[in-house]
Structure 1
């Protein structure tokens, strides 16, 4: 019980560290966004920025929920004419984290929604499909995607190896425990048998001594 509790604690600590790192990234991008635009944002854009940052931070604990939230927020940029600005760069990082958790369906959904929002021009009120921009966007999403899949596979392989070694140790300890218990039981049975035989020999010896004493006393009386 303590071993599994320790493992759960380690997993929670890793998620907490990841969530903290994501929060730092979101804050850094948010600060850069403010510095670049000198804080000239509407109320809707401030709400959008904070919502994207919160959903981005939640990827460590609730990847599916955060992916749905980010998808809705990115798609809401089109009808609302809001600017995500540099916060659209959080989408590739989110893709890498989802790939790490092996949530490939939500990776696809988030990539489509982020690309759709990123290719939409608020000023021109239309989509811009320039080949170079589209290629750079695909590369920007492909790198964290394959990186997240690779790192996630390494981590899962490592965890599987640890679990296999732990199971082998448990099987070995149980086998040793059963063998030792069997040997101890056998020794106890043998000791009990020897004790019973020893008691029988003692009783026979006592009877013999009593018989010899009775014979000797008879001869003394006769004499």
Structure 2
């Protein structure tokens, strides 16, 4: 049973990366998973935007936008929300609220992040990984942006577990590993590596190297 759930989670993650699936990565076959598979079938089973050009690096690679920028970096963010933010509401409602922030307050066309990770470790897709995100001003081409729910009042040098949960730690590491299997990631950074911000509320290079 666990093998079936893990296999379906992997399928949901792949569909989410391509922009077909917008539900939770939960390993449960529901209407969203069914609709995503039907959408793939309607396109003749084609995997969109993943065929590299002749000059592309050897190995798997994700490309973004019409210019097909190769994805080689992950940038980690936080939502700067309190631990009890929207407590009791479904994760999809939280994603909808962040999407509203980005549309109404920043004027973006949709949520800027590619993935969100909730306090319990649940993962939801935002933009498709084949779309250029909007996480760091002037630094979005070829980047996948991941946002952790939480981080209100954090400092750039806080330890990870001061603001985030063990479940988020495990989910973030697992998501990074899954992305690395699909594209040649050479850098994993935090928003604070690119701007004078506390976000994501910890030093990413220290967190990565923690055993």
User: TM-score normalised to the size of structure 1?
Assistant: 0.26
Which protein has the bigger helix share?
A: 1
User: TM-score normalised to the size of structure 2?
Assistant: 0.28
Based on CA coordinates, which of the two structures has the bigger radius of gyration? Answer: 1
Q: Which has the higher contact order (CA 8 A, sep 6+)?
A: 2
